[in-house]
C-alpha cells in the first residue's frame, strides 16, 4: 500500500486541509512554501492517464477550493498548481496528486526554466504530434 493510501486509511497521520467522500487534501511534509497542499483522490490511481475523467473533474474542483483557501486564509498572492506525471517528471509517490503551492511576491521560487526551440525543431515536434493524434 502506498504512503498516500496509508494516509487515506488512517494508518499514517496527516494535516488535513479538506476531505470529502472521494478526495483528501493535506499539507505536504516537504513544503515549497508554508501551506503547500497535496490534493489526492482517495482511490489509488498511479498517474494522469490512470484516473477516470469524472474523478479528475472532482479532483480539480477541490484543487480550486484549496487554492482559494490559501489566498483567503494564508494571504497568498497566488498559487502554482502542478502535477508530476511519472518518476522522470518528479513524481515521487506513485499515487496521482496535485500540488497546490501558495506564492508570495519575492519568495524566490521560479516555476521552471524556459528554453527556446532550435530552428526547425518546433516544426518537427508538431508534425509528430499531429501525425500521432490523427492515428
What's the pTM value of the predicted model, to 2 decimals? 0.89
Given the residues 36, 79, 95, 97, select the one marked as catalytic.
Answer: 97
Domain boundaries, the chain: 3-134
Of 53, 51, 42, 60, nearest to 1 by C-alpha is 42
**Residue for grid cell 494571504:** 75
Residues 6+ apart with CB under 8 A from 42: 8, 21, 22, 23, 24
pLDDT digits (tens, 9 = 90+) for 4-44: 999 999 999 999 999 999 999 999 999 999 999 999 999 99
Assess whether 97 carries a catalytic annotation: yes
Distances (CA, A) of 85 to 3, 11, 35, 51, 128: 17, 25, 22, 12, 21
- Give the CATH class of 3-134: alpha beta
Amino acid at each position: 500500500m502506498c504512503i498516500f493510501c496509508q494516509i487515506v486509511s488512517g494508518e499514517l497521520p496527516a494535516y488535513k486541509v479538506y476531505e470529502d467522500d472521494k478526495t483528501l487534501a493535506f499539507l505536504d511534509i516537504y513544503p515549497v512554501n508554508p501551506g503547500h497542499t497535496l490534493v489526492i483522490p482517495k482511490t489509488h490511481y498511479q498517474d494522469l492517464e490512470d484516473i477516470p475523467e469524472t474523478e479528475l473533474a472532482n479532483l480539480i474542483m477541490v484543487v480550486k477550493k484549496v487554492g482559494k483557501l490559501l489566498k483567503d486564509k494564508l494571504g497568498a498572492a497566488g498559487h502554482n498548481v502542478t502535477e508530476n506525471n511519472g518518476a522522470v517528471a518528479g513524481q515521487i509517490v506513485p499515487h496521482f496528486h496535485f500540488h497546490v503551492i501558495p506564492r508570495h511576491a519575492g519568495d524566490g521560487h521560479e516555476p521552471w526554466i524556459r528554453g527556446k526551440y532550435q530552428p526547425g525543431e518546433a516544426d518537427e515536434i508538431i508534425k509528430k504530434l499531429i501525425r500521432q493524434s490523427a492515428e
